[in-house]
Structures are given as structure tokens and as C-alpha cells.
Structure 1
Amino acid sequence: MFSKNIIKPFGLAVAGLLASTHLTTAAYADCEPDPYIGSICMTAASFCPTQYFTLGPVQYVQISQQQALFSLLGDTYGGDLRTNFGLPATEGRVLRSEGSPPGLVAVDQGMIFGSTHVYMTESSMPTHTHTATYAPFGASGPGLQVSTEDGTKKIPAPGDYMAVSNLNGTQSKSFIAAGNADPTVNISGGYISDLPPEQPIEISDTGGDGAIPISPPQLGMRYCIAYDGIYPPRT
């Protein structure tokens, strides 16, 4: 027989080993071996462990094969509810708690909402203004470019400049061809009559019409749902 002095250290060693094993297992087990049925866990592994279905796109499970899970999920995630029921479709979605928090969208369990991109329309844009400046005479205001050379033409042609009046008998030549007009000066302070009536200024379009991505930076992981384990008690 073992002496008490031998048994006591041996028992402590076994207890310590069991405690150490339990803590190590718990530390590494997000998807635990005896989960509550219907609970969801996340893993970085390429597969879900035994007792778990891999979640992703829409998928349906036979009621006859998973009656316990069906009793918990019911029609929340789809299915015909006669032969099959749906599992949560997590593909491309971030899971969020149900509820109606102030200032946020009210969410019911199983509700699918949200979008990865959004299109801005004229009605959805905030009210704003665009500033446009109409300067038909340039930045210096009303003015007229004239030549400082003597005029060579009595009757102007399109593109000619006004020039220094060159009196030749009774014929005053007050115009000069553009090619001979230099140097020129700007005469300001006058005005032009019979301008066209006031008209709106159209600002040309800019930018593209593509959708704006609104998804924050994310990392894809694997979601698993327990179909075998402990039936969750009601509180």
C-alpha cells in the first residue's frame, strides 16, 4: 500500500496536471467541444470542428436530422419549415446584435441589411452651392484693345483693330488689320450697350458615376454554428 506521504503528493500532482490540461484546452478552444447548441464561434482554421456546421452562403438543413437545432432557430433564417430550415448566412456580412439602439437602425434577429457600396444621387447629396464668376471683359473690367499705329482702313473687317485716326483728305482711316496692329493698348472705363439679357451660367459636370465603397477594412474568418452539444437552458 502507498503511504499517506506518498499518496498526498501524487494526488496533488494529478490534480495539477488535470487543472493544467483544462486551462490549456480552454485557452485554445473558441469552438469548444461541448458547446450550447445554436451557439456561433469563430476560427482561423480552414475547417470547423466536429459538432459544428460551417456558416457562409445560404444553406438549409433537414429538420428530421437536426430537430434540436431547428427548435432553437425556427424560421428566423428561412427554409420551408416542413422539411428544412435555414442557417444564418454569414458570407460577406458582419454579425451585429439585435436591438433598437438610439440613432442606429433597429435590428431584429435574422434581419439582413446594409450594403458594401452606395450611389450618390442629387436628392441624397447635402445642400450646397457652387460659386461661378462671369467676366466677359476679363479680370480688369470693361475694356477695348486698340492699336497705337496709324489706321490704314476706312471700313473694318472681322478681326481688325481700331487705330489712330489717319486723315487723308476727307477720308479718315481709323482701322488696321490685326497683323499690323501691334503695339496695342487697353482702353477701359467704357461700356457696351445692347448686351444680351441675363442668363444662367451652367457649370460642367465632373467626376464619375461609380459606386462609393463604404465597407471598413476587414479580415475574413470562418464562422461555425454548433449542432450537437448541450441544449441551452432558458434563464
Structure 2
Amino acid sequence: MKRHIATAIFATALSIVGIHGASAQNVEQYIGEVRLFAFNWCPTGWAQTTGSLLPIAQNAALFSLLGTSFGGNGTSTFGLPNLSGRASYGQLANGQGQPLGATYGQTQVTLLVSNLPSHTHQLYATNSAQTVASPSGALLPTYASGKFYAATGSPANTPMAITAIGMTGGNQPVSTQSPALSMNWCVATTGIYPSRQ
């Protein structure tokens, strides 16, 4: 009997301090609010932010807030935000920066020569004398007789064939993906209609 009384008192205390779930706290979302959930479905009154098109006739309040910022034809349908594989970006004050609903950025890019910093490639020779007739796999030698090199400071003004220095690289794309945790974004389709400040 004492155990039942203690349990009842504990449950009542939890209700008073509000540790009884959202329904007991009378919490309601704003229409158009986006929240992150740790489970893979959206509660009643919410829809996944996967860019789905909704009919305006059944979602007039939500359409009045989102318009066609995220897609749709604006006469019979409108789009929900699509956060699948994307991070959200806060719009700057006074609407500056990217317009609401704009998607941009890439998860991977292929670097071009123009993306690389200016640099040189060092050409190595050897101070050994010439000993082989074929250049295959060999080094520029130091000639035993005669002069072969120009002094330091001489103008490097005659380009040689680009194939004289071997090619490298594979044109593979580079990932630009930040470390992330995959969770479930949902947008409220019902709730309190927000008022402007």
C-alpha cells in the first residue's frame, strides 16, 4: 500500500513540474515551423522536409506563409522545403544574401589549375657524368667536357614541351562535405498561425 501511495505522489509531482510530455504542457507549434527529430517519421501535423508538393486548397494557411519559395506552381500546389542531405542557412538581415528557398553549394568539386596556388616544380639533375644513351628513366647528367648549363639568374624565357615533365593527378572530385549527423527534419502543417512582431 505504501508503495502505491509513493508512486502516486511521484507521478503527481512529475505532472506539476511538467515532466509528463508535450501534451501535458499544452505546447503547440507554429505553422511552417521546422524542427529536427531523432526518429525517422514525422508526428501528426508535421510533414517531412523533402520538397513534397502540397495542394493549396487543403493547406491554405501554410501556403500563405511559404508561398512558392520552395516550389510549386502557386495556383494549385506549393512546395515544402527540401532539407534532404542539406544544411539550412539563415537568411541575412533585411533579406540580404541568398533568397529564401535558394539551394546552392555542392558536396564535392573537381579542382582546376586555376584553383591551385601559384607554385613551381623543381627539376633535378645529377652531378654524375653521362653513362647511358637512352633518356628513359634517366637524369640530366653533368657533362665531362664542355658546358651544358646556363648560370643562375639567366632568363627562363623559352618554354620546352609540356610533356618534358610528367603528368600527375586523376581529376577525381574532392568531397566538401562537413562532418554531419543524419536526422529527420519536419515542417509543421498545423498549429498556431504566427503573427509578425
**TM-score relative to the length of structure 1:** 0.61
For 1:207, the equivalent position in structure 2 comes to: 169
Whether the 8 Å contact between 2:29 and 2:191 is mirrored in structure 1 is: yes
Trace 1:1-235 onto structure 2 (pairs within 5 A): 16-20=13-17, 22-26=18-22, 34-56=28-50, 58-99=51-92, 106-133=97-124, 135=125, 138-140=126-128, 143=129, 190-191=145-146, 200=160, 202-235=164-197
Which one-letter code corresponds to 1:25 in the other structure?
Answer: G
Q: How many Å apart are 1:129 and its aligned residue?
A: 1.1
CA gap 1:94/1:190 in 2 versus in 1, 3 angstroms: same
SS at match of 1:123: helix
Which one-letter code corresponds to 1:89 in the other structure?
Answer: N
Which structure is higher in RCO with an 8 Å CA cutoff and minimum separation 6? 2
SS at match of 2:47: strand
Whether the 8 Å contact between 2:40 and 2:183 is mirrored in structure 1 is: no
For 1:16 and 1:125, how far apart are their aligned partners in 2?
64
Q: How many Å apart are 1:14 and its aligned residue?
A: 9.6
Q: Once the two structures are aligned, what percentage of the paired residues are identical?
A: 31
For 2:72 and 2:166, how far apart are their aligned partners in 1?
52
Greater share of strand: 1
Q: How many Å apart are 1:118 and its aligned residue?
A: 0.5
For 2:182 and 2:166, how far apart are their aligned partners in 1?
42
SS at match of 2:54: strand
List per-residue Cα deviations over 1:27-49 (Å, max 9, x = no partner). Answer: xx9xx951000001111112110
For 2:43 and 2:147, how far apart are their aligned partners in 1?
86
> Which runs of no fewer than 5 residues in structure 2 stay unpaired?
1-8, 134-142, 149-157
For 2:147 and 2:75, how far apart are their aligned partners in 1?
85
Which protein is bigger by CA-based radius of gyration? 1
Q: How many Å apart are 1:113 and its aligned residue?
A: 0.3
SS at match of 1:19: helix
Whether the 8 Å contact between 1:60 and 1:86 is mirrored in structure 2 is: yes
CA gap 1:48/1:199 in 2 versus in 1, 3 angstroms: closer
| RMSD of aligned alpha carbons | 3.0
**TM-score relative to the length of structure 2:** 0.72
